[in-house]
């Protein structure tokens, strides 16, 4: 991991990288640490590791993926902003921008960049967010503007976009084959709460029963994994 064990260089900005894929972390670390005024102060694969690293290293910026080991990047963003409000957050994700960008920004991130754009745009995104300004692609910016004009998420054609952050997380775990008890353990919630989420998801997606919900969730994970 580049520069993570070196003393901070005077005037550099410290960056924490949070992603559950080691090769992605390595690639981001190399890109960031190649800049003379940026330093990778730590790496993490899970929310717990990330929070420990934030507390230990006091980064100026945390680059966070949406999908982490046994945790949600959205929840991590909220936790970081609640506990360490001065730490700026940039989301780097392979997931559908139209589904996650608004959620990430609403959770407290200042920027959102798709991994397909990382090679060309990551340093620009990092510097923009470190400067306290928002960073998003033209497509995301236009979509958020359209949402504001048309009245918000309830007008969206894709019903999956109407799911709350927690419902979307449960939907994704259903698609990964987890039963209600396993999802409850993963999210530290009761089975009753998970079953309630399942019913709300089924209703919002217009599905007839649990089998249709499972099929829809599995297909969605295959398409977005």
pLDDT digits (tens, 9 = 90+) for 31-87: 999 999 999 999 999 999 999 999 999 999 999 998 887 778 899 999 999 999 999
What pLDDT does residue 148 have?
57
**What's the chain's average pLDDT?**
85
100 vs 62 pLDDT, higher one: 62
Q: Which of 49-58, 83-92, 130-139, 189-198 has the lowest mean pLDDT?
A: 130-139
Band (pLDDT 50/70/90 cuts) for residue 146 is low
Q: Span 138-166, mean pLDDT? A: 67
32 vs 223 pLDDT, higher one: 32
List the domains of the chain with CATH numbers: 13-146 (3.40.50.2300), 157-224 (1.10.10.10)
pLDDT at 19 over 50: yes
Alpha-carbon gap, residue 29 to 27, rounded angstroms: 5
pLDDT at 215 over 80: yes
What pLDDT does residue 127 have?
95
Q: Enter the pTM of the model.
A: 0.75
Band (pLDDT 50/70/90 cuts) for residue 2 is very low
Percent of the chain whose predicted confidence (pLDDT) is above 70:
85
């Amino acid at each position: 991991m580049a520069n993570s064990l070196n003393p901070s260089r005077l005037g550099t900005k410290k960056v924490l990288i949070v992603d559950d894929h080691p090769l992605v972390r390595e690639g981001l670390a190399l890109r960031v640490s190649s800049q003379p005024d940026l330093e990778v102060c730590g790496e993490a694969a899970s929310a717990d590791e990330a929070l420990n690293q934030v507390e230990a290293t006091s980064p100026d910026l945390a680059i966070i993926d949406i999908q982490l080991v046994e945790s949600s990047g959205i929840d991590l963003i909220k936790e970081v902003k609640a506990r360490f409000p001065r730490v700026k957050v940039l989301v780097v994700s392979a997931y559908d921008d139209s589904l996650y960008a608004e959620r990430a920004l609403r959770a407290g991130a200042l920027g959102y960049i798709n991994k397909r754009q990382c090679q060309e745009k990551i340093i620009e995104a990092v510097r923009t967010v470190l400067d306290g300004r928002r960073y998003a692609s033209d497509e995301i910016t236009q979509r958020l503007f359209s949402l504001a004009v048309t009245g918000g998420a309830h007008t969206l054609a894709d019903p999956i976009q109407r799911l709350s952050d927690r419902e979307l997380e449960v939907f994704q775990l259903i698609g990964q084959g987890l039963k209600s008890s396993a999802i409850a353990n993963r999210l530290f919630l009761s089975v009753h709460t998970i079953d309630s989420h399942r019913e709300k998801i089924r209703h919002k997606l217009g599905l007839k029963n649990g089998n249709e919900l499972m099929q829809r969730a599995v297909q969605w994970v295959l398409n977005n994994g």
